[in-house]
Structure 1
Amino acid sequence: MIELDHLVAGYDRLAITPALCGSVARGSMTAIVGANGCGKSTLLKTLAGFLPPVSGVIRWPSHRPMVGWLAQRHALESQFPVTVQDVVCMGCWPRFSLFRGLSRDARQRVAQGLERVGLSTMAQETIDTLSGGQFQRMLFARIWVQNAPLVMLDEPFTGIDEVTSQVLMEQIVDMHQSGQTILAVLHDSERVTRYFPQTLRLDEQRAQWGETPAQALPPEECRA
């Protein structure tokens, strides 16, 4: 799905990552790991199209697919007066007409997304009432509704409790099993080892691709 030809990611022409050569296969599930400051999030933003490469090339089979995106820190203002259901409905935008509104099938999918993350009873609550974990569940429901072929997640479990983390991990596994390609920046060694078949490990000098080893991260790199 994605081919990288000496890709270097960074900001304002300042390189942060080493040059990456390799590919992300369609339908794969890859964790991007490494020490803080090695460019994991910068690389993910570059692959998503939010940042231009410092150098090198990103190649797609034909065109860049629609991406389901979850930022490290949500960009949606929590005081904005919208409901949980409104936010989840945003996942339908690429597929519905602004003038016709949501179809019956789309509304059913939104309801299913809310149910999957345990927020059915909070559909009409405004987002300023949500806890951090509930907010993250809502954003996952939006991604599930979107059903994009490529899903990119930047530290999706940071700052949320373990119960919520496990609920969301189950959603990631389900998306992968449905054929979606998953790329996720993670710090949790145990979760990487247990769930992610492929790993891209970054450090200042090089990038290592391949099957996830028995111990994905050294202990000093497991902290967020």
Structure 2
Amino acid sequence: MAAQLSFHNVTLGYDRHPAVHHLDGEVAPGALLAVVGPNGAGKSTLFRGIVGILKPLTGSINLGGLDVRDIAYLPQIADIDRSFPISVFDFVGTGLWRHTGMFGGLGRRERDVIIHALATVGLSGFENRTIGTLSGGQMQRILFARVLLQDARVIVLDEPFNAIDAKTSADLVGLVRHWHDERRTVLAALHDMDLVQAHFPETLLLARGAVAWGATPQVLTADNLGKARRMCEAFDDTAAPCADAAPHPEAA
């Protein structure tokens, strides 16, 4: 079976300083993969590379025939400007842009789909609220609702369960499991090792480079976790930039 995602000697970074370096590996279609590692390990940088926000400094990322527009991306809540005066309904509706265009009108069918997505994540009746009035858990639910509307074969979730209550986490884990049952490819950056061990059969342990990648029980060992911590602590952010790569302004 051809890989859904493949990484060939990929180095990603900012101003030519690598944050993820020399990554090789493959993600199979329908995989449910946790990406874990200490703070500063490069998890968000890797995801930005997958969805096309960052261009590789070296190497390549193969999307298995997909365009980056075919990948649903859930960023960290901290990356969302919640002061922007947009309603929950309109925010979730941006998940339909691939089908309607940024300025495409919403017909009855599209409106029904948005309302159904909000009901699926437990936020019926929130359509006219502005996103700035939501709690952290409610905001995470509408991010999941937007991903639902994208109906993508590949789903990339950056810290989807961070700083939310147990009920919200359980509900959203259920959605991830549902996507996995539908044979969608799901990658999630996570910190909760108990959650990873309970729900994610495969894990990439990242510490700027791959420490281990494979079945979760074989990856999340004390030796591997200790090695990842030491690798991140030893990484020199003042190291010389990659000599053979030009800077990418969009990576800043």
Please indicate, yes or no, whether the TM-score normalized by the shorter chain is above 0.5: yes
Where do residues 107-186 of structure 1 align in structure 2 (5 Å cutoff)? Answer: 107-186=111-190
Q: Aligned partners of 2:67, 2:103: CA distance in 1, in Å?
A: 27
Q: 1:9 Cα shift?
A: 2.0
Identity of aligned residues (%): 39
Q: Which stretch has the larger CA shift, 22-31 or 78-87? A: 78-87
Q: Aligned partners of 1:83, 1:171: CA distance in 2, in Å?
A: 23
Seen in structure 2, the aligned counterparts of structure 1 residues 125 and 23 have a Cα distance that, compared at 3 Å, is same
Q: Aligned partners of 2:119, 2:52: CA distance in 1, in Å?
A: 31
Task: State the one-letter code of the partner of 1:43.
Answer: L
Q: Deviations over 1:179-205 (max 9, x none)?
A: 221111101001111111111111256
Seen in structure 2, the aligned counterparts of structure 1 residues 205 and 108 have a Cα distance that, compared at 3 Å, is closer
Q: Aligned partners of 2:47, 2:104: CA distance in 1, in Å?
A: 34
Match of 2:217 in 1: 213
Task: State the one-letter code of the partner of 2:65.
Answer: S
Q: Aligned partners of 1:18, 1:185: CA distance in 2, in Å?
A: 17
Q: Deviations over 1:62-92 (max 9, x none)?
A: 3424111111234432222221111111111
Instruction: Please tell me whether residue 196 in structure 1 is matched to residue 205 in structure 2.
Output: no
Of the three residues 17, 29, 32, the one matched with 1:29 is 32
Q: Which stretch has the larger CA shift, 54-63 or 124-133? A: 54-63
Where do residues 55-74 of structure 1 align in structure 2 (5 Å cutoff)? Answer: 55-65=58-68, 66-74=70-78
Instruction: Please tell me whether residue 46 in structure 1 is matched to residue 46 in structure 2.
Output: no
Q: Which stretch has the larger CA shift, 107-116 or 185-194? A: 107-116
Paired residues in the alignment total 222
The unaligned stretches of length 5 or more in structure 1 are none
Of the three residues 66, 91, 97, the one matched with 2:95 is 91
**SS of corresponding position for 1:94:** helix
Seen in structure 2, the aligned counterparts of structure 1 residues 164 and 63 have a Cα distance that, compared at 3 Å, is closer
Say which one has the larger Rg.
2
Match of 1:15 in 2: 18
Q: Aligned partners of 1:5, 1:215: CA distance in 2, in Å?
A: 21
Match of 2:80 in 1: 76
List structure 1 segments (4+ residues) > 4 angstroms apart after TM superposition. 97-100, 217-222
Q: Deviations over 1:163-217 (max 9, x none)?
A: 1111111111112222221111101001111111111111256432111117736
Seen in structure 2, the aligned counterparts of structure 1 residues 83 and 32 have a Cα distance that, compared at 3 Å, is same
Seen in structure 2, the aligned counterparts of structure 1 residues 84 and 135 have a Cα distance that, compared at 3 Å, is same
TM-score (norm 1): 0.89
Task: State the one-letter code of the partner of 1:26.
Answer: P
Q: Which stretch has the larger CA shift, 71-80 or 160-169? A: 71-80
Seen in structure 2, the aligned counterparts of structure 1 residues 49 and 99 have a Cα distance that, compared at 3 Å, is closer
CA contact (8 A) 1:34 1:217 kept: no
The unaligned stretches of length 5 or more in structure 2 are 230-252
Seen in structure 2, the aligned counterparts of structure 1 residues 195 and 184 have a Cα distance that, compared at 3 Å, is same
**SS of corresponding position for 2:217:** coil
Seen in structure 2, the aligned counterparts of structure 1 residues 56 and 171 have a Cα distance that, compared at 3 Å, is same
